[in-house]
Amino acid sequence: MDISEKISKFIDEHTDEMVRDTMKLCEVNSEKGPYEEGKPYGDGPFRALNEAMDLCEKYGFDVKNYDNYVACADMNDKESGLDILAHMDVVAAGDGWTVTEAYKPIVKDGRIYGRGSSDDKGPAMCALYAMRAVKELGLPLSRNCRLILGTDEECGSSDIKHYYAIEKEAPMTFSPDGEFPLINVEKGQFRGEITKSFDGELLERDLVYFKGGTTVNIVPGKAQALLKGFGLSELKDIYEETEALTEVSFSFSEEEGCLKIMAEGSTAHASTPENGKNAALALALLISKLPEEGSERLSALNRLLELFPYGVTDGSGINIKMSDEISHATTCSLDIVEISDGGLFAKWDARTCAASNEENCVAPAEKAVRDKGFDIKTDFLPAHVVDGDSDFVRTLLACYEKYTGKKGECLAIGGGTYVHELKNGVAFGAVGDTTDTHMHGADEFMIIEEMKTAAKIYAEAIYELCK
């Protein structure tokens, strides 16, 4: 029996255990909570991390705890070879669960349902069982493989910053917090905050308030505005025209003698804004058809719309439209807009191609915004690119091909993972290339057959990279 056959047999025989361990972790609500002494991200992430450490110790791995930010399990005490980065924290459970409650995992139709099953507790267990296979099969290694488990991936990854302030980056790193075949390019992230103060009082006909979006990386699916001095009759023709153009629906009511407008579109992640219907921008487009009549609020909203026209997601309004062969086109989405007595506040989220930099992206955007009379603050993180022809990447893809029979290829994404700032880090599985696990949504699941395949791929990769 060759090594691949031994690995497959081991994982097949231990699948039920892997499922049970995953479900045990998924029972822990590890959403980020308030700081407690010894628990930097609250009680939930702390408990999940300790459950995971107990499993690692149970299976014979040396475990080290980094102040409850991160824990790691080492295959051996040899020279560093490969790090595997996974996380135990989860996003909020949210509403709409139908198969089971978020933290009462079940197995149904060959799937584990529960928050964290695919992001990232199930994939973490795939990596742990891969290490178990290599260890218990006695496969010889000359370098160490380390499983690193974090607790703040969903809210900024300050846990990993804490870890790398203490430890050096391994020569090779992959995270099972993505999809197969392999992600070697993560677009840059460029965010901007736009502000404008208002000096004058409300006019007889004016915009009392405008609100759309709450999260900078989510296209707003709902928005609302309150107009003073305008009647529904003035909007009848233009709102029907705007609905047809934007595919966003509008509803109207009266509030304190003013006209309230509600807009409902559809959300999307900011890395794929073209998949959503931006309710805030659609509402701004509707209101832009009304006369400004000297209103600084209406004027500000119209100028903001010029920078971020409805349906335009390439950043051309702020002069950052760009594309390259490695990472493809930049995307851009205005995701938060608020207008009130205090002034205007808005935030955008752009995912920039690898060719973007401070000179050709940040500077033009800041100038475009200032030219419209707004104040601006920006934050720019360059794209992450690992050579797709490196021995490391080719080895991982070969392991993928061996166990799936599919062609391995490199992918570029607009999202970001733990490896974004690591020199030689990629995202590698564990989710199948065509599977939507409802990650971050209701009824999140992980397919058990995909877990088995991922564990086999990871075991082969550990052996090949560290032998």
What residue segments make up the domains of the chain, in order of their start?
3-186+385-466, 189-381
| CATH architecture observed for domain 189-381 | 2-Layer Sandwich (3.30)
Regarding beta strands 178-179 and 188-196, do their DSSP bridges make them parallel or antiparallel, or are they unpaired? unpaired
Instruction: Report the CATH superfamily, name and number, of domain 3-186+385-466.
Output: Zn peptidases (3.40.630.10)
pLDDT on residue 342: 86
pLDDT digits (tens, 9 = 90+) for 224-239: 999 999 999 888 889 9
| CA dihedral for 418, 422, 457, 465, sign (positive or negative) | negative
Give pLDDT tens digits for 264-322.
999 998 989 999 999 999 999 999 999 998 999 999 999 999 999 999 999 999 999 99
**Do 189-381 and 3-186+385-466 fall under one CATH topology?**
no
Mean residue pLDDT across the chain: 96
pLDDT of 9 over the 90 cut: yes
Torsion angle, alpha carbons of 369, 370, 376, 381, to 10: 60
Mean pLDDT of the region 344-370: 97
| Structural contact between residues 7 and 456, judged by C-beta atoms closer than 8 angstroms | yes
- DSSP tag of 360: I
Say whether pLDDT at 146 is over 90.
yes
Token output for 410: 């490199």
pLDDT digits (tens, 9 = 90+) for 346-358: 999 999 999 999 9
Residue 363 neighbours by CB under 8 Å, 6+ apart: none
Closest CA to 333 of 215, 417, 197: 215
DSSP 406-467: SPP-EEEESS--GGGG-TTEEE--EE-TT----TTSTT-EEEHHHHHHHHHHHHHHHHHHH-
